[in-house]
């Protein structure tokens, strides 16, 4: 599913060039759930951006579902994300001017699905928000907003879900609920899940955990049984 | 991956755009106002001038007095010529001239003047062929002018003459040798627009009464207008050709309805060009506000754009969604502007009615509205494409990394092409719709320079502010309020740049117009007592010259007579080529349009400025020579040694050009465009024209003495003519300043928008400063310093640029004198600083009033 080969990323900052990823090589199988752990600034969010085709590595190769992302231009990458990737952000990033159902329908509409709205409705019902279809983000709690974001990520049926600290902006109880939903949908859809977190407890729910430190893989462990 | 994957169609983009605009149009208020104002100005001006042009075209026959106007000077048309006309059309005759009317000596005492220059029009019974002369009390013109039982003819006069001479309907009036009865006031004269520039009130008399006046003398400046009204289905062009063929030697000037009102059409063309360009300036200044509003809107949408990209939206789709939003807003602004532009003439037409010979009847002017819409679209595109292109290139990674956009934005080739197209469209439309394209080109060049200068000035100003602020700190002389003010000017995203740019351009236009108008007023005001003669006396018969001079010298305070023979001649050929076949340059068009005054002289007149060639010897007796105005020579492509032929009373006279002269008409002295060497014109019927200097006290006595003694001599009072010109100029000046004020209003809108855009950031800064101990008074003073510096900065540059523009227009385009008038510049400095402080402070006042805790709580919520 995901193949990273000696991926390096160097960015310019005011203080000079900063090497954020320093030779990351990972393989993630179809349907696998992987937690990426690491302290702030270790490069884990950047790794997610690279996997989503949002950031181009300075060196190395990245292929997702057999597609070499380095060979795609910006527009092709956008199409690729539309077809294959769902992203859940720490800050939800719902479009403020759209209702819940409209937010969920966005990727479906972009993909040209005539049944975008029925599917969006079903997705929202699957996260327990069937009664909040026409509410705007500002009218919803943080947990509800994140559930809308999860529905949006899963609605088009992508093969890969990338979640960046999905509980980072939530209290622990709400976070628990959101994680339950995330894992339930992952299992139901069979999509590959890459979960960025610094929460060991949350990471423990994934069969495989990758530790990133200072842009390098410090550890890559698979649990035998959950 | 195929292109057909997905649906980033127009319909989807439109749906997304509509959703995004649910929050309302509030952020677009300034954009709407800027576009509406600029488009309204252009559409309103275009509609009004379109309506006036329509009126001129619609009433062309009435304004001309018929289908054809044949103007003869030097004597009436021959019987054969009149017979030819009458065989083909209905014909009417109107004889026009300048003359003096006086209050009869037996009319009793009167406080005002006893004589006045008039525009006399003697008409036959058929006049007017078209339209009607409206009189008060109501009666026909024929009834008003005919002789009564005692043989006294009637006159119909404009009200102004009655007021001037203290007369009323029923009183007697003397014109030349005739005594007439005023039977009515003239309310409307159908063909008044087709004649020459009016120096006095109109007086109608009959053709028979004219004979009694004794004013028709050989060489007098009289125009016999034969108006022809064709039967229906007449081929006018063929008839004109037949007229030419029948009387090839005739020296008349023939005008058809296409040339009915050349003077007014020229005036309308010039006014349309000037006001349209000022309107365009308003729109361009507003463009800065449009760009600011769009940039602010798209900045606020940065997360949404990045989110959509993360969800798979391509750059093109982003461009489409937000392009549609902007287009919808721009279209709304333009529709509002066009709506105002459509109804604006309803308000302005009544104000113009007294200055125009036609009624500007309300009608939609599709061409004018289309031009305004194209200007609006092009300006909106010019100022929104750049921020839109920036938004399109917002990376999706912006959601993960806060500071994106620090990298320098490089627009794609397509964006640059679209920007160039928008700019060229504005330029092309301005040039194509200008009656004088070079003027529009200069305007465009000026606009580019002004935008460049003010953009640079804004940046330099901000950098300078940063440097001074740092310098104050480093020098150990901290001045917190000044440093805060300077920091506010210098910080990224500060309103200073937009304010300097938009307000600066508006102020530049204002200063330039004020300097130009001020210079004209100054010349008119200051010149009269020094250089100008008190009177021009025209139509002095050769046998009256000696007596005339004796009369003038007999008036205490009068003296310095300058006298020259005066004939009328029309340029007929240049180097033997008929003038109709010569490509005449702009500098000579006025000279070939109708007959000009010509004279002859042995000695070179005083103050003559020879440009090329030499003056002839005083005793010259060789082949005919002529000295001509250098502008006419240039326009006709003639040089020294070339020949020019003039038609004097039907006779063509050819002379070699001996020299060309630069004539300074602004000196108001006696001068002629063509002065012939002795030997050619002495035998032709002629009169004399004289200028006389006089003290102000002697002016009235001088006119009285001359016109009492010489009923046929017309006195043109220079002071009155200049006052009339100054009055007209004053009215034009008010209109120009009002229009220029639109550009300023646009600049103030930009100011308000720029200040409002930074309000949130400013509120946060104010709260932080309060937390660190700043008092409200400190902050208020810092704001005053900040806005005062911005206003003064913009005004200083505007004063320099506006003055330079005025200098260029006056000295290079109008070839007039120039003097720097400090008034407009100082007024601009004070006004601009006051306005920026006022509007800026009004926009930031609320920032001072915010409670720190509330702001901090909101900031914490994000």
How many whole angstroms separate alpha carbon B369 and alpha carbon B380? 16
Question: Would you call A111 and B6 a contact, using CB atoms and an 8 Å cutoff?
Answer: yes
**pLDDT value at residue B401:** 62
Closest residue in A to B10 (Cα) is A110
- Whether the predicted pLDDT of B858 surpasses 70: no
Q: Considering only CA atoms, which of B754, B766, B755, B779 is closest in space to residue B854? A: B766
User: How far is A106 from A116, CA to CA, in rounded Å?
Assistant: 8
pLDDT tens track for B283-298: 898 998 899 889 888 8
Q: Which of A125-134, B344-353, B530-539 has the highest mean pLDDT?
A: A125-134
Q: What is the DSSP letter of B21?
A: G
More confident residue, B606 or B308: B308
Q: Nearest residue of A to residue B18 by CA position? A: A97
Selected for mutation to probe chain B from A109, A158, A160, A163 (highest B CB count within 10 Å) is A109
Confidence grade of residue B137 (pLDDT, cut at 50, 70, 90): very high
Confidence of residue B525 (pLDDT cuts 50, 70, 90): low
Q: Which residue of B has its CA nearest to A108?
A: B6
Q: Compare A36 and B408 and report the one with higher pLDDT.
A: A36
pLDDT at B77: 92
Residue B110's pLDDT band (boundaries 50, 70, 90)?
Answer: low
B359 confidence band (pLDDT: 50, 70, 90): confident
What is the average pLDDT across B697-707?
85
CB-based contacts of B168: which residues, under 8 Å, 6+ apart? B162, B182
Asked if residues B369 and B341 have their Cβ atoms less than 8 Å apart, the reply is yes
Point out the residue among B12, B312, B397 whose CB comes nearest to the CB of A78: B312
CA distance A83 to chain B (A): 8
Q: Are strands B625-629 and B651-662 parallel, antiparallel or unpaired?
A: parallel
Spatial neighbors of B272 by CB under 8 A, at least 6 apart, are B45, B46, B49, B435
Q: B4 pLDDT band (50/70/90 cuts)?
A: very low
With cut-offs at 50, 70 and 90, classify the pLDDT of residue B527: low
Do B314 and A74 make contact, defined as CB atoms within 8 angstroms?
A: yes
Residues B565-572: what's their mean pLDDT? 86
What average pLDDT does this structure show over A97-112?
91
Q: What percent of chain B has pLDDT over 70?
A: 93
- In angstroms, what separates the C-alpha of A10 from chain B's closest C-alpha? 14
What are the residues whose beta carbons fall under 8 Å from the beta carbon of B526, sequence distance 6 or more? none
Beta-carbon count within 10 A of B623 CB: 11
The pLDDT of residue B312 is above 50: yes
Residues 6+ apart with CB under 8 A from B403: none
* Nearest chain B Cα distance for residue A46, angstroms: 8
Q: Which residues of B829-859 are buried (b: 16+ CB within 10 A; e: fewer)?
A: bebbbebbbebbbebbeebbebeeeebeeee
* For testing contact with chain B, the best of A12, A44, A54 (most B CBs within 10 A): A54
Minimum CA–CA partner of B404 in chain A = A13
Instruction: Enumerate residues 6 to 45 of chain A having a beta carbon within 8 A of any beta carbon in chain B.
Output: 45
pLDDT value of position B407: 56
Q: Give, in degrees to the nearest 5, the angle at Cα B758 between B754 and B764.
A: 165
Residues of B in contact with A98 (CB under 8 A): 19
Residues on chain A touching B304 (C-beta within 8 angstroms): 95-97
pLDDT of residue A157: 93
Per-residue pLDDT band for B2 (boundaries 50, 70, 90) equals very low
Report in angstroms the alpha-carbon separations of A49 from A43, A54, B398: 10, 5, 11
Which residues touch B565 (CB under 8 Å, ≥6 apart)?
B599, B600, B681, B686, B687, B688, B689
ipTM of the complex: 0.87
Identify any residues that bridge with B651 across adjacent strands, giving them in sequence order: B648
pLDDT at B722 over 80: no
In chain A, whose CA is at the least distance from the CA of B399? A93
Chain B CB contacts of A79 under 8 Å are: 1, 5-6, 312, 314
Closest CA–CA distance from residue A156 to any residue of chain B (Å): 10
Q: Looking at per-residue confidence, does B593 or B677 come out higher?
A: B677
What's residue B478's pLDDT?
65
Measured over the CA atoms of residue A125, residue A128, residue A131 and residue A137, the dihedral's sign is: negative
d(CA B828, CA B741): 12
Length of chain A: 226
Of A75, A102, A111, the CB nearest to B19: A102
> How far away is chain A from the Cα of B9, in angstroms, using its nearest Cα?
9
Smallest Cα distance from A97 to chain B, Å: 5
Mean pLDDT, rounded, for B171-188: 92
Give the pLDDT confidence score for residue A14 in this predicted structure. 67
- Cα of A73 to nearest chain B Cα, Å: 11
Instruction: Please write the tens of the pLDDT for every residue from B26-45.
Output: 778 889 999 999 999 999 98
Asked if the Cβ–Cβ distance from A81 to B397 is below 8 Å, we say no
Per-residue pLDDT for A226 more than 70? no
B48 closest CA partner among B288, B317, B473, B355: B355
**Cβ of A73 under 8 Å from any chain B Cβ?**
no
Q: Are B816 and B523 in contact (CB under 8 A)?
A: yes
- Would the pLDDT of B845 be above 90? no
pLDDT at B853: 67
Within B433-535, residue ranges assigned H as helices are 437-474, 480-490, 496-527
Nearest CA in chain B to A155: B311
Task: Tell me if residue B654 falls in helix, strand or coil.
Answer: strand
In chain B, pLDDT over 90 holds for what percent of residues? 30
3-state secondary structure (DSSP) of residue B498: helix
Q: What value, to the nearest 5°, has the Cα angle with vertex B780 and ends B774 and B786?
A: 110
Contact A110 B6 (CB under 8 A): yes
Distance between A224 CA and the closest CA of chain B, angstroms: 33
Question: Is A93 at the interface with chain B, CB within 8 A?
Answer: yes
DSSP states along chain A: -EEEEEEEEEEEETTEEEEEEEEEEEEE-TT-EEEEE--TTSSHHHHHHHHTTSS--SEEEEEETTEEGGG--HHHHHHHHHHHEEEE-TT----TTS-HHHHHHHHHHHTT-TTHHHHHHHHHHHTT-GGGTT--GGGS-HHHHHHHHHHHHHTT--SEEEEESTTTTS-HHHHHHHHHHHHHHHHHH--EEEEEES-HHHHTTSSEEEEEETTEEEEEEE-S--
Taking one residue from A and the other from B, the number of pairs with CB-CB distance under 8 angstroms is 97
Q: Residue B572 has which token pair?
A: 């007929």
Residues of B in contact with A54 (CB under 8 A): 310, 395-397, 400
pLDDT band at B723 (very low <50, low <70, confident <90, very high): confident
Residues of chain B whose C-beta is under 8 A from some C-beta in A?
Answer: 1, 5-8, 12, 15-16, 19-23, 303-304, 306-317, 395-397, 399-400
Contact (CB<8Å) B310/A76: no
List of E strands, B189-310: 202-206, 222-229, 253-256
Rounded-to-integer distance, Cα B783 and Cα B848, Å: 10
Gap from A196 CA to chain B (nearest CA, Å): 13
For Cα atoms B730, B734, B738, give the angle at the middle one, nearest 5 degrees: 165
In sequence order, what DSSP letters do the residues of A163-182 get, joined into one string?
EESTTTTS-HHHHHHHHHHH
- Residue A141's CB is within 10 A of a number of other CB atoms, namely 11
Q: Any alpha helices (H) in B59-178, and if so which ranges? A: 60-64, 79-88, 141-145, 159-165
| Subunit contact B312:A45, Cβ cutoff 8 A | no
Q: Please say if the pLDDT value at position B842 is more than 60.
A: yes
Is the per-residue pLDDT at B706 higher than 70? yes
Please judge whether B314 and A98 are an interchain contact, meaning their C-beta atoms are less than 8 angstroms apart.
no
Give the pLDDT of residue A22. Answer: 93
In which order are the strands placed within the sheet that holds A208-213? Answer: A85-88, A160-164, A192-197, A33-37, A208-213, A216-222
E-only strand ranges, B614-650: 625-629, 643-648
Look at residue B400 in the predicted model and tell me its pLDDT.
65
Q: How many CB atoms lie within 10 A of CB B108?
A: 9
The predicted pLDDT at position B708 comes to 80
pLDDT in tens, B153-176: 999 999 888 888 889 999 999 998
Q: Which of B306, B307, B410 to mutate to test the interface with A (most CBs of A within 10 A)?
A: B307
Which residues in chain A touch residue B5, judged by CB atoms under 8 angstroms apart? 79, 82-83, 111-112
- B516 touches B510 (CB < 8 A): no
Cβ contact (<8 Å) for B311 and A82?
yes
Cβ <8 Å between B1 and A79: yes
Residue B405 pLDDT: 43
Mean pLDDT in residue range A125-141: 93
- A160-174, A189-203, B194-208, B330-344: least confidently modelled range: B194-208
Contact between chains at A98 and B19 (C-beta distance less than 8 A): yes
The mean pLDDT value of chain B amounts to 85
Asked if residue A211 has pLDDT above 90, the reply is: yes
Radius of gyration of chain B measured on its C-alpha atoms:
34
Interface check A122 vs B, CB under 8 A? no
The tens digit of pLDDT for each residue in B763-804 reads: 877 787 777 777 788 888 888 888 888 888 888 888 998 999
Choose from B305, B311, B389, B858 for mutation: most chain A CBs within 10 A: B311
Query: Which residues, listed in sequence order, are joined to residue B660 by a DSSP beta bridge?
Result: B612, B628
Beta carbons within 8 Å of A226's beta carbon, 6+ residues apart: A205, A207
Instruction: Say whether pLDDT at B690 is over 60.
Output: yes
Confidence at residue A150, expressed as pLDDT on a 0 to 100 scale: 95
Question: Which phi and psi (to 5°) does residue B638 adopt?
Answer: -105, 150
Q: Which of B211, B214, B107, B217 is nearest to B151 (CA)?
A: B211
Which residue in B286, B367, B279 sits closest to B45, CA to CA? Answer: B279
Please judge whether A83 and B303 are an interchain contact, meaning their C-beta atoms are less than 8 angstroms apart. Answer: no
For the segment A157-165, the average pLDDT, to the nearest whole number, is 93
Instruction: From chain B, pick out residues whose CB is under 8 angstroms from the CB of A9.
Output: none
Of B444, B427, B523, nearest to B810 (Cα)? Answer: B523
Query: What Rg do the C-alpha atoms of chain A give, in angstroms?
Result: 17
Cβ neighbours of B314 in A, within 8 Å: 74-75, 78-79
pLDDT, residue B583, reads 87
Q: What pLDDT is stored for residue B73 in this prediction?
A: 80
Measured between beta carbons, the chain B residues lying within 8 angstroms of A46 are 400
The answer, yes or no, to whether residue A225 has pLDDT greater than 70, is no
B371-394 burial by CB neighbour count: b if 16+ within 10 A, else e? bbbebbbbbbbbbbbbbbbbbbbb
Closest B-chain CA to A54 = B397
Residue appearing with tokens 């001996």: B658
| B639: confidence class by pLDDT, cuts 50, 70, 90 | very high
pLDDT value at residue B507? 86
Question: CA B828, CA B825: separation in Å to the nearest integer?
Answer: 5
Token pair belonging to A145:
């907003």
Average pLDDT over residues B169-185: 93
- Global confidence as pTM: 0.77
Distance from CA of A78 to the nearest CA of B (A): 4
Distance from CA of A226 to the nearest CA of B (A): 32
With a cut of 70, say whether residue B857 has pLDDT above it: no
């Amino acid at each position: 599913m995901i193949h990273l080969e000696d991926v390096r990323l160097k960015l310019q900052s005011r203080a000079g060039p900063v090497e954020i990823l320093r030779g990351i090589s990972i393989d993630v199988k179809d349907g696998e759930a992987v937690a990426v752990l690491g302290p702030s600034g270790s490069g884990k969010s950047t790794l997610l951006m690279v996997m989503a085709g949002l950031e181009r590595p300075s060196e190395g190769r990245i292929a997702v579902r057999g597609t070499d992302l380095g060979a795609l231009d910006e527009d092709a990458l956008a199409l690729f994300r539309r077809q294959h990737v769902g992203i859940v952000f720490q800050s939800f990033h719902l479009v403020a001017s759209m209702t819940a159902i409209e937010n969920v329908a966005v990727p479906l509409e972009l993909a040209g699905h005539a049944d975008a709205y029925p599917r969006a409705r079903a997705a929202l019902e699957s996260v327990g928000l069937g009664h909040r279809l026409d509410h705007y983000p500002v009218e919803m709690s943080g947990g509800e907003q994140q559930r809308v974001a999860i529905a949006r990520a899963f609605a088009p049926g992508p093969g890969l879900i990338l979640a960046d600290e999905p509980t980072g902006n939530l209290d622990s109880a709400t976070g628990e609920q959101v994680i339950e939903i995330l894992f339930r949908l992952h299992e139901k859809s069979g999509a590959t899940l890459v979960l960025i977190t610094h929460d060991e407890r949350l990471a423990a729910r994934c069969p495989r955990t990758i530790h990133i430190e200072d842009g390098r893989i410090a550890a890559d462990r698979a649990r035998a049984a959950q | 991956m195929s292109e057909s994957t997905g649906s980033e169609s127009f319909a989807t983009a439109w749906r997304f755009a509509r959703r995004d605009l649910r929050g309302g149009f509030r952020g677009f208020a300034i954009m709407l106002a800027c576009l509406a104002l600029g488009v309204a100005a252009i559409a309103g001006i275009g509609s009004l001038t379109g309506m006036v042009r329509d009126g001129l075209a619609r009433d062309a026959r009435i304004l001309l007095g018929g289908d054809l106007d044949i103007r003869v000077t030097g004597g009436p048309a021959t019987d054969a010529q009149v017979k030819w006309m009458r065989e083909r059309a209905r014909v009417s005759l109107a004889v026009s001239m300048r003359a003096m009317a006086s209050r009869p000596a037996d009319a009793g005492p009167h406080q005002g003047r006893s004589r006045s220059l008039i525009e006399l029009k003697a008409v036959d019974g058929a006049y007017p062929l078209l339209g009607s002369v409206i009189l008060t009390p109501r009666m026909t013109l024929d009834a008003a002018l005919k002789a009564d039982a005692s043989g006294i003819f009637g006159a119909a006069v404009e009200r102004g003459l009655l007021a001037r001479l203290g007369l009323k309907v029923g009183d007697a009036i003397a014109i030349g040798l005739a005594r007439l009865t005023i039977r009515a006031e003239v309310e409307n004269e159908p063909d008044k627009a087709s004649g020459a520039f009016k120096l006095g009130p109109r007086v109608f008399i009959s053709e028979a009464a004219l004979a009694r006046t004794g004013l028709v003398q050989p060489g007098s400046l009289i125009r016999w207008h034969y108006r022809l009204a064709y039967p229906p289905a007449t081929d006018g062009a063929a008839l004109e050709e037949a007229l030419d063929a029948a009387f090839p030697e005739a020296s008349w000037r023939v005008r058809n309805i296409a040339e009915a009102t050349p003077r007014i059409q020229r005036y309308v063309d010039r006014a349309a060009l000037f006001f349209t360009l000022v309107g365009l300036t308003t729109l361009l200044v507003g463009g800065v506000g449009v760009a600011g509003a769009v940039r602010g809107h798209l900045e606020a949408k940065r997360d949404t754009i990045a989110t959509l990209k993360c969800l798979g939206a391509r750059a093109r789709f982003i461009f489409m969604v937000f392009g549609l939003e902007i287009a919808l807003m721009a279209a709304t602004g333009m529709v509002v502007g066009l709506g105002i532009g459509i109804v604006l003439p309803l308000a302005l037409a009544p104000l113009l009615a007294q200055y125009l010979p036609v009624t500007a009847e309300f009608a939609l002017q599709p061409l004018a509205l289309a031009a305004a819409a194209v200007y609006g679209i092009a300006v909106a595109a010019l100022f929104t494409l750049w921020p839109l292109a920036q938004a399109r290139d917002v990376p999706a990674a912006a959601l993960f990394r806060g500071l994106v956009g620090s990298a320098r934005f490089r627009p794609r080739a397509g964006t640059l092409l679209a920007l160039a197209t928008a700019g060229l469209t504005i330029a092309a439309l301005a040039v194509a719709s200008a009656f004088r394209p070079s003027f529009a080109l200069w305007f465009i060049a000026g606009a580019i320079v002004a935008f460049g200068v003010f953009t640079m000035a804004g940046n330099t100003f901000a950098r300078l502010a940063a440097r001074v602020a740092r310098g104050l700190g480093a020098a150990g002389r901290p001045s917190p309020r000044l440093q805060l003010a300077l920091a506010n000017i210098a910080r990224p995203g500060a309103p200073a740049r937009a304010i300097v740019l938009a307000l600066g351009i508006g102020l530049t236009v204002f200063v330039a117009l004020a300097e130009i108008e001020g210079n004209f007023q100054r010349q008119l005001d200051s010149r009269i007592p020094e250089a100008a003669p008190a009177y021009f006396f025209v139509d002095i018969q050769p046998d009256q010259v000696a007596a005339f001079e004796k009369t003038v010298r007999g008036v205490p305070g009068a003296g310095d007579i300058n006298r020259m023979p005066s004939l009328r001649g029309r340029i007929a050929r240049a180097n033997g080529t008929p003038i109709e076949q010569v490509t005449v340059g702009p500098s000579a068009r006025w000279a070939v349009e109708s007959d000009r005054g010509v004279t002859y002289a042995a000695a070179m007149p005083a103050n003559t400025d020879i440009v090329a060639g030499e003056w002839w010897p005083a005793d010259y007796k060789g082949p005919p020579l002529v000295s001509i105005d250098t502008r006419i020579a240039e326009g006709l492509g003639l040089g020294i040694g070339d020949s020019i032929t003039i038609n004097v009373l039907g006779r063509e006279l050819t002379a070699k050009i001996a020299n060309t002269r630069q004539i300074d008409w602004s000196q108001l002295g006696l001068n002629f465009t063509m002065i012939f060497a002795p030997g050619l014109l002495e035998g032709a019927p002629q009169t004399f024209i004289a200028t006389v200097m006089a003290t102000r006290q002697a002016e009235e006595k001088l006119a009285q003495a001359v016109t009492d003694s010489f009923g046929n001599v017309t006195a043109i009072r220079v002071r009155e003519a200049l006052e009339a010109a100054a009055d007209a100029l004053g009215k034009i000046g008010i209109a120009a300043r009002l229009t220029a004020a639109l550009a300023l209003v646009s600049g103030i809108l930009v100011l308000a928008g720029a200040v409002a855009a930074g309000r949130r950031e400013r509120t946060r800064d104010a709260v932080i400063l309060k937390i660190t101990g700043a008092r409200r008074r400190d902050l208020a003073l810092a704001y005053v310093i900040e806005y005062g510096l911005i206003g003064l900065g913009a005004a200083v540059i505007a004063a320099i640029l506006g003055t330079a523009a005025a200098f260029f227009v006056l000295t290079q385009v109008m070839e007039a004198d120039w003097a720097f008038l400090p008034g407009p510049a100082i007024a601009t400095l004070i006004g601009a600083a006051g306005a920026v402080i006022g509007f800026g402070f009004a926009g930031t006042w609320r920032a001072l009033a915010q409670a720190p805790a509330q702001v901090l709580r909101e900031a914490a919520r994000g």
